[in-house]
């Protein structure tokens, strides 16, 4: 079992990285959080890994934290969820999103995940209802939820989708909306446009 890889980052692709460890290059399927925070090529990188052995391939999946890896492992224990879909779920949905979808029986949130159609979304909802309590226990969730309470509000969801329509990634949109909500004391008086404007300020500051 390969649990951790530490070495020199030598190549970056759209969904994977190659890390040189003692002269051996490891190709690692990287989570969205890893890809969004990579060092410069040639610098050292450390990834928590999940190793999968198949008849036709040995596959490594890399994560920025143990909690993120644990959530991925919880996903792929769900019937019908393989590593590819597990990575897509990890990139597209927070625990707050999942909790909201399950509580509201809302398949539309799951349909936004690449590779998930209506039938798959409905099946995942059934599976998630049985697995959600285990998912919530998987980790401390502090970094993975991006302030879950905000994600449970329709206004925050709409603002996040508006930012994504402008070209921002789901993960950074979630963080910007969460930060914006934390900066105001009265959420009920906020309009969608006001929340989106506040969230955009976080990108301008960067």
Look up the domain containing 161 and give its range: 148-205
Best CA proximity match to 19, nearest among 37, 4, 32, 1: 4
| Residue 96 near residue 151, CB atoms below 8 Å | yes
Token pair for 57: 């391939």
Report angle CA 50, 51, 52 to the nearest 5 degrees.
Answer: 120
Residues 60 and 74 both lie in one domain: no
CA distance 91 to 75: 12
Residues 132 and 153 both lie in one domain: no
Residues 130 and 175 both lie in one domain: no
| Residue 29 near residue 13, CB atoms below 8 Å | no
In a domain, 83, yes or no: yes
Residues 40 and 75 both lie in one domain: no
* Per-residue confidence in pLDDT tens, the chain, 206 aa: 789 999 999 999 988 999 999 999 999 999 888 888 889 999 999 999 999 998 888 899 999 888 888 888 888 888 878 999 999 888 887 777 777 788 788 888 788 788 888 888 888 888 877 777 666 665 454 344 443 444 446 778 788 888 888 878 766 787 788 788 877 765 556 788 888 888 888 776 54
Q: Which of 102, 137, 172 is the last residue of a domain?
A: 137
In a domain, 143, yes or no: no
Residues 130 and 71 both lie in one domain: yes
In a domain, 45, yes or no: yes
**Four-point Cα dihedral 113, 117, 118, 120, nearest 10:** -90
Instruction: Give the domain CATH number at 82.
Output: 1.10.150.20
In a domain, 142, yes or no: no
Q: Which of 37, 64, 91 is the last residue of a domain?
A: 64
In a domain, 36, yes or no: yes
Specify which residues 53 forms β-bridges with: 58
| Residue 74 near residue 131, CB atoms below 8 Å | yes
Claim: this prediction has a pTM higher than 0.85: no
Residues 52 and 72 both lie in one domain: no
Instruction: Give the domain CATH number at 175.
Output: 1.10.8
CA distance 105 to 51: 33
Helix, strand and coil content of the chain, in percent to the nearest 5, comes to: 50, 20, 30
CA distance 171 to 144: 10
Residues 73 and 35 both lie in one domain: no
Instruction: Give the domain CATH number at 38.
Output: 2.40.50.140
Query: How many structural domains comprise the chain?
Result: 3
- Coil vs helix vs strand at 90: helix
């Amino acid at each position: 079992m390969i649990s951790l890889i530490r070495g020199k980052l030598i190549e970056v692709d759209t969904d994977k990285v190659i890390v040189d460890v003692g002269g051996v290059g490891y190709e690692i399927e990287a989570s969205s959080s890893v890809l969004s925070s990579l060092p410069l090529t040639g610098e050292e990188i450390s990834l928590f890994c999940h190793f999968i052995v198949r008849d036709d391939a040995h596959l490594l999946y890399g994560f920025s934290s143990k909690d993120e890896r644990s959530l991925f492992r919880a996903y792929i224990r769900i019937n019908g969820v393989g590593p590819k879909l597990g990575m897509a779920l990890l990139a597209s949905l927070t625990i707050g999103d999942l909790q909201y979808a399950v509580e509201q029986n809302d398949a539309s949130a799951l349909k936004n995940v690449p590779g998930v159609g209506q039938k798959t979304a409905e099946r995942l909802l059934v599976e998630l209802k049985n697995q959600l309590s285990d998912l919530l226990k998987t980790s401390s969730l502090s970094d993975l939820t991006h302030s879950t309470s905000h994600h449970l509000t329709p206004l925050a969801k709409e603002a996040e989708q508006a930012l994504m329509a402008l070209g921002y990634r789901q993960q950074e949109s979630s963080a910007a909306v969460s930060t914006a909500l934390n900066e105001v004391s009265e959420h009920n008086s906020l309009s969608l446009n006001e929340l989106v404007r506040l969230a955009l300020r976080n990108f301008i500051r960067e």
